[in-house]
Amino acid sequence: MRALVWHGRNDVRVDRVPDPELLNPQDAIIRVTATAICGSDLHLLDGYIPTMQKGDILGHEFMGEVVEVGSGVKKLKVGDRVVVPFPIACGQCYFCQHDLWSLCDNTNPKAALAETMFGHAPSGIFGYSHLMGGYAGGQAEYVRVPFADVGPFKVPDSLSDEQVLFLTDIFPTGYQAVESCDVKPGDTVAVWGCGPVGQFAVQSAWLLGAERVIAIDGVAERLELAHSWGRAEVIDYTKTDVRERLNELTGGRGPDVCVEAVGLEAHGMGLPGAYDRVKQEVKLSTERPHALRQAILACRKGGVVSVAGVFGGFADKIPLGAAFNKGLTFKMGQTHVHRYLQPLLEKIEQGAIDPSVVITHKLSLDDAPDAYRRFRDKEDGCIKVMLRP
């Protein structure tokens, strides 16, 4: 089959690789009909997430048709059309039983690696380095899906691939980032980063009852989408002092909920930005947490800072004193996608949201290497790429 393969830093190619096979009785093989490139894939592309190996197949946002099931699979059938959550969960362990699917104890075969880094291992993730289990991803014609009765979620034929594909990650991710903050009537939600996850955080803030939504980014097309589709007030950080503007907009108090949807490669301005880039280049720090710092300083006293952007290692100069003295609450983590599949599918069916709006580029899998580059460089208005194998 054809698949998007990581060869090294900034080197991904579409290669011919062996078709996946059933390895366990609970596996299924999915023929991928649609897949997407995620902002977090860019951290793999440039090698900032460690433990990538030459030959790894990328992609954790995919959907398709079941073409083969193992002898232990009971609910899923050949021919079912499904979306697949990016975290792999067993459905049986303490964490799965407590609705904490991305923390599953049984799906990371390289747990020792993650335990060294994190203390405990989170769940495995498709196509997301050996730290996350070394699973082959879904930017491919076919993919092996373990625990097939737990993850894959059947979607109705009345909805297009474009409408349901983002249930795999970015819609639940934006939603969880806001939902976990317990938004109250009258609250102002500010979102750093107007990439796809930020856009869904903006949408979710309205769905969850926010009174005002403010979106922050430095790319014109993204701000435009947050304004037109997201009905958000927008701040361009390249032109405006973000903290000053947020204070102006909130009577000096600061936003009640601050969502960080940027992650470990934030584009910092000025001296702190340059400092982060240098430290990351020489591997003294694995993160560039500029947006997170700003969110902490901007958040109102007693407010909530929610981290949806991916962090993988050690961050420097986080203003912990500000967080402590302002009595902030922190929410963060990989998304418990399984928890949100049914309720968010219902919102799509009801017409409360059309996730397909974020797609700016529909391309063939064969174009994936070029699409990665265009997405990374934010060329020709690229916000979200959908690929068809």
Q: How far is the CB of 168 from Zn ion (least distance, A)?
A: 8
| Distinct helix (H) and strand (E) counts, the chain | 13, 17
- Closest approach of Zn ion to the CB of residue 94, in Å: 8
DSSP strand E in the chain: where?
2-8, 11-16, 28-37, 61-69, 81-84, 87-88, 124-125, 142-145, 153-154, 188-192, 212-217, 233-236, 257-260, 304-307, 329-332, 361-364, 385-388
Residue placing its CB nearer to Zn ion in the complex, 96 or 210 = 96
- Considering the complex, what minimum distance in angstroms separates the CB of residue 263 from Zn ion? 11
> Least CB distance from residue 36 to Zn ion, whole Å?
7
Q: Which is nearer to Zn ion, 326 or 388 (CB)?
A: 388
Chain centroid offset of residue 178 CA: 14
Please, where are the H alpha helices in 125-195?
161-164, 170-179
- Of 187 and 260, which has the nearer Cβ to Zn ion? 260
Q: 230: which 2 tokens?
A: 């997201």
Helices (H), 102-181: 111-118, 161-164, 170-179
Residue 93 or 357: the one with the smaller Cβ distance to Zn ion is 93
- CB closest to Zn ion, residue no: 38
Shortest Cβ 154–Zn ion spacing (Å): 21
CB of 325 to Zn ion, least distance (A): 34
* Residues linked to residue 124 through DSSP beta bridges, in sequence order: 88
Helical ranges in the chain per DSSP H: 39-45, 94-97, 111-118, 161-164, 170-179, 196-207, 220-228, 242-249, 270-281, 290-298, 320-325, 337-349, 368-376
Q: Kindly tell me which of 104 and 246 has the beta carbon lying closer to Zn ion.
A: 104
The crossing angle, in degrees rounded to 10, of helices 290-298 and 270-281 is: 140
Length in residues, the chain: 389
Residues contributing to the site for Zn ion (CB under 5 A): 38, 40, 89-90, 93, 96, 104, 106, 169
Report the nearest approach of Zn ion to the CB of residue 384 (Å).
10
Residue nearer to Zn ion on the CB measure, 93 or 269: 93
Q: Give whichever of 20 and 85 is closer to Zn ion, judged by the CB atom.
A: 85
What ranges in 299-336 are assigned the alpha helix state H? 320-325
